[in-house]
Amino acid sequence: MSKKLRVATTSLAGCFGCHMSALDIDERLFTLLNLIEFDRSPLTDIKHCGRCYIGLIEGGVCNAENVHVLREFRKNCKILIAIGSCAITGGLPAQRNHLDLGSCLTEVYLTEPGLAHGYIPNDPELPLPLDKVHPLHEVVKIDYFIPGCPPSGDAIWKFVTDLIAGKTPELGHGLIKYD
């Protein structure tokens, strides 16, 4: 049997919904695992991405750590795929983009009712938020995009298996969706 393809996945400024949707391929996961093995992923808990054939990233880029992780994926993955609305457009987290970040933090941590002794978290281990939330393709080159919030398990299955089979992935009516 030929060597299995290594696949890494991660969620940046996302909700893990795309990962959950990937699990909707159900028993086809066993078929997939005959073809691939996971590198860094919530499924393995490996902390850093090694050399991979495919990297799947959900979520946009909202803080400094996201930028580091995204660049590590780009460096190590032959094919980098943005999966889901947040990775492709910034999505829900990017809805803060037309607001001032300082005003957001002030309202959430200082001026909302019940925050008399509140303060803006400043632990040095916390990654610094970016001024704006960015889709992945504004930071690194992205090879493929699987839209959806989240894309269905069937869409993810079709896309990944097309890719593994060496075909240009195509999502027809019903599989391509933005919501």
Partner 1 sequence: MTDTFQLDGATVSFEPCQTVMQAALTAGRYIPHLCYHPEFKPHGSCKLCTIKVGGRTLSACTMPAEAGLQAESNIEELNALRRTLLQMLLVEGNHFCPSCEASGNCQLQATAYELQVMTPHFNQFFPDRPLDGSHPDILLDFNRCILCELCVRASCEMDGKNVFALAGRGITKHLIVNAESGMLRDTDIALEDKAMHVCPVGVILKKGVGFSVPIGARRYDQRPVGAQALDDAPRPAISGSCDACEGKS
- Of 40 and 66, CB closest to partner 1: 66
- Binding-residue total with partner 1 (CB under 8 A): 29
Query: What SS3 class is residue 9?
Result: strand
**Cα 18 to Cα 108: distance, rounded to the nearest angstrom:** 27
- Of 55 and 90, CB closest to partner 1: 90
Minimum distance, C-beta of residue 65 to partner 1, in the bound complex (Å) = 21
* Structure tokens that stand for 175 in this block: 């599989």
Residue 135 binds partner 1 (CB under 8 A): yes
Minimum distance, C-beta of residue 163 to partner 1, in the bound complex (Å) = 13
Q: Where are the alpha helices (DSSP H) in the chain?
A: 17-22, 28-33, 64-76, 85-89, 101-106, 153-164
- Of 22 and 175, CB closest to partner 1: 175
- Of 40 and 85, CB closest to partner 1: 85
Residue 53 binds partner 1 (CB under 8 A): no
- Of 40 and 175, CB closest to partner 1: 175
* Structure tokens that stand for 9 in this block: 């996945």
Residue 80 binds partner 1 (CB under 8 A): no
| Cα diameter, the chain | 64
Residue 146 binds partner 1 (CB under 8 A): yes
* Structure tokens that stand for 154 in this block: 């069937």
User: What does the H/E/C string look like for 95-112?
Assistant: HHCCCCHHHHHHHHHHHC
Q: Which of 12, 50, 4 is nearest to 31 (CA)?
A: 4
Binding site for partner 1 (CB under 8 A): 82, 85, 88-92, 94-95, 97-98, 132, 135, 137-138, 142, 144-147, 149, 170-171, 173-174, 176-179
